[in-house]
A and B are shown apart, each in its own frame.
Chain A
């Protein structure tokens, strides 16, 4: 027990014990420190702000200067107008105007460039890299944004069972862009399949135009890896350029074909 005495009306430790307090004072500070440190800093409050970045924001000039030489050179090569869209094309599942346009380009150009009858074409949905192709002039840069990957067109020959497996896979994904084939999704399976205008025949073989990305198992299509590929170095993006140039040469525009090539039935 500590003995106390009254000094100036206050209760104080007795003088002979003050040195003990001093002696233990350092120890006390260390203890207080340890107690504080053993209690971690915890987040108690969180305020979230989501800033939309638009023309209302100020512009940082340093970054503007850093980008200028890159921008100038990109614009020189990418601002060339290659075609014209008479309507805004949209990306959607199971079928969409933008998906139909891209799959049409791949089907038509594959027929030409591989010099053989291709029955249908497909692209993976995630491979469409713009959500919209806006109405009006279409620049070279816009085609690059739509299809920035250097994916090749490959031609593959599938037996009936492989076609069914591929279309069931597309059905399970909720529908991918296709041309030359149409079907209805029932319980995540492809049914009522029509290929090149005729009912699907499981006894037949079919020739398809695919991207090397999907043919090599991309987007979960691992089963496609086993199927041989014919390739000639022709890019999906080049098919888009050539198809748009073909439309221009025919005085045609890129139009919104809203044909529902893939339908959903519950």
Chain B
């Protein structure tokens, strides 16, 4: 009797011993390499801080500056295999650069540094939704990602996308974005006809879609804020109420987190949350090592080992 299972087992042994050393098979398996590395660099709430804080005796004197950030990013690109460069919103407002130029040099700087994607913060509306769309269209060469603002009939309609899949090496990285509730935070004449949708429902829906499209990592760029004392939706609450999100790059609350927070999502799987203060004082770097594994009932079989590098 023909025993297929046995055939496969025996053939695999025979074929394996013959072919493992073969260059042809090695080349063919490049796209299914067993280990992949990915480096995520991120900022949030840079608030038009193009220059370092002036040397005036203030707490942050001499810190930040985009020319330094750009050099650091270049250095990291030279040593990392694959890089994704992200920002979690509030690019605009905070120095006279914005009062005079309405965000033009800020967006040009992000483009020059090679940012891959940003989400929208409440202050990015400060010059009005028309200005935001115009600056992004004229000077932005990166994705503007937000899934819980309905831009239908607004100038942002053809500028922003709900998500984007980036390919790095053999990895597919899905990025979605969530924005904060605008009513009561941003003057209505500035955000125009933007319709705010429930960030939990939209993030859940979008993350599931990205997972179903085969994304190895799902990142949520969030301008909701890290934590609040009340019921207001935050990154911590979003992480606990959703599934399929692996990493939340947050903003809005200007929290300088000592290291990323590891929390559980609604299925018990790990979600990493990070935020690097404001004003471009800090650049966050997350070096991921990927291996083939089983995504079990709780999305993930293994716990992610998170360590912090010191002395940076």
A residues near B, CB below 8 A? 1-2, 13, 21, 24-25, 28, 31-33, 36-37, 39-55, 57-64, 66-67, 70-71, 73-74, 77-78, 88, 129-132, 134-136, 141, 144-145, 148-149, 212-213, 216-222
Contact = CB atoms under 8 A, between A and B. Distances in A.
Interface residues of B, number: 93
Contacts of B293: 39-42, 44
A50 B98 CA distance: 27
B129 to A, nearest CB: 16
Contacts, number: 236
A134 B58 contact: yes
Given A50-B285, A145-B95, A24 B292 contact: no
Most buried by B among A25, A50, A222: A50
Nearest to A44: B291
A40 B309 contact: no
Contacts of A77: 96, 100
B65 to A, nearest CB: 6
B170 A45 contact: no
Given A2-B6, A42-B216, 13 more contacts: A43-B217, A46-B305, A46-B306, A48-B286, A48-B309, A50-B285, A57-B65, A57-B69, A64-B67, A130-B58, A134-B57, A135-B57, A216-B188
B71 A60 contact: yes
Contacts of A47: 286-287, 306-309
22 contacts: A24-B7, A25-B15, A40-B295, A43-B304, A46-B286, A52-B63, A54-B68, A59-B71, A60-B74, A67-B50, A67-B51, A67-B67, A70-B50, A71-B50, A74-B96, A74-B100, A129-B94, A134-B57, A136-B57, A148-B93, A217-B183, A219-B185
Tell me what chain B mostly uses at the interface: helix, strand, loop, or mixed. mixed
Interface stretch (B101-109, B145-153, B199-207, B233-241): B101-109
A40 B57 contact: no
B206 to A, nearest CB: 18
Contacts of A31: 8
A10 to B, nearest CB: 11
A28 B11 contact: yes
Interface stretch (B81-89, B130-138, B156-164, B274-282): B274-282
Nearest to B55: A55
A21 B6 contact: no
A79 B100 CA distance: 14
Nearest to A137: B56
A53 B277 CA distance: 12
A6 B60 CA distance: 79
B113 A50 contact: no
Tell me what chain A mostly uses at the interface: helix, strand, loop, or mixed. mixed
A45 B272 CA distance: 12
B184 interface: yes
Nearest to B61: A134
Contacts of A60: 67-68, 70-71, 74
The 7 A-B pairs with the shortest beta carbon distances in the complex, nearest first, are: A60-B70, A57-B68, A42-B293, A45-B289, A60-B71, A58-B71, A134-B58
Contact of A48 (B8, B36, B113, B308): B308
Contacts of B70: 60, 62-63
A2 B65 CA distance: 71
B64 A217 contact: no
B312 A51 contact: yes
Given A2-B7, A28-B12, A36-B32, A43 B65 contact: no
A58 B170 contact: no
Contact of B216 (A40, A45, A58, A73): A40
B250 interface: no
Contacts of B7: 2, 24
A50 B286 contact: no
B178 interface: no
B130 to A, nearest CB: 16
Contacts of B117: none
A147 B66 CA distance: 22
B100 A73 contact: yes
Interface in B140-189: 170-171, 183-185, 187-188
Contacts of B302: 42, 44
Contacts of A58: 68, 71-72, 75
B32 A49 contact: no
B251 to A, nearest CB: 14
